[in-house]
Amino acid sequence: MSRIKECFKNLQADGQTALIPYVTAGDPEPWVTVPLLHALVDAGADIIELGVPFSDPMSDGPVIQKACERALKNDVTLDSILDMVKQFREKNKHTPIVLMGYANPLEAMGYEKFAKKAQAVGVDGVLTVDMPPEESDEFLRLMDVHDIDTIFLVAPTTSAQRMQKIAQYAKGFIYYVSIKGVTGAAALEINEVTAKLEEIRKYTSLPVGVGFGIRDGRSAAAVAEVADAVVVGSTLVRCIEEHSNRPQELPAAVASLLAEMRHAINARDLASVSA
């Protein structure tokens, strides 16, 4: 059983919702990333999305675009990110790590080489924003051979036919983009999210996580009402940017923000169990 599958199985058995923070690897300094990952776990992260910085992150808003720029200025590469995961695994064997980014860095390394190295260091999943399932046969085969879950996005504009196709290829969980636009662009409409998740679940038994537009404990708890996982990105990355001149303070600051969301989600989960 993959670490991602086992994580969701355990959470669902306990009536809990997964909390998935996103941070960009190497932002604002490469040495901060591993301590930051451990701090996120201590604050309640169940799965971590580790962003692979890319020069043209077309689905991301200004906050994560700047994070990519900061990381790339530090010469962060896919190889160095895999080394960060290896360092993280020296102390943490159980928290799933999902690499999130774009196809170009993986193509540049070579899919087979990437799959072997990613499996060796303990990567559990990969979400490649600009890789449609129809063009992913070789990539999907290699990820499957090396036990790496392939996670795909579903958007508010995704048709039922395409949703069905994505569900055929997805492993680990499905990531629902809760708003139309780039990351951090707008506040989410929970009624619209609820309706879309009901539609997605017609085609898959995988857990469904919701991201984009979650900014605080209140919005995290609202999403936890309807989703299997709450994905938080831009809010955490904005906090990282605010502490970019004081990186030694950054893990504690970001962890505090995430802990607020964990507390709000847990309170909702407990209320749901008691009801």
Q: Cite the active site residues.
A: 49, 60
Q: How far is CA 57 from the centre of its chain?
A: 15
Per the CB < 8 A criterion, the answer to whether 58 and 69 are in contact is no
**All residues at 6 or more sequence positions from 58 whose CB lies less than 8 Å from its CB, including other chains:** 102, 129, 130, 182
In which residue are the tokens 């971590």 written? 48
Of residues 26, 23, 204, the one with CA closest to residue 98: 23
What's the CA angle centered on 176, arms 170 and 182, to 5 degrees? 120
Per the CB < 8 A criterion, the answer to whether 218 and 231 are in contact is no
CB atoms within 10 A of CB 67: 29
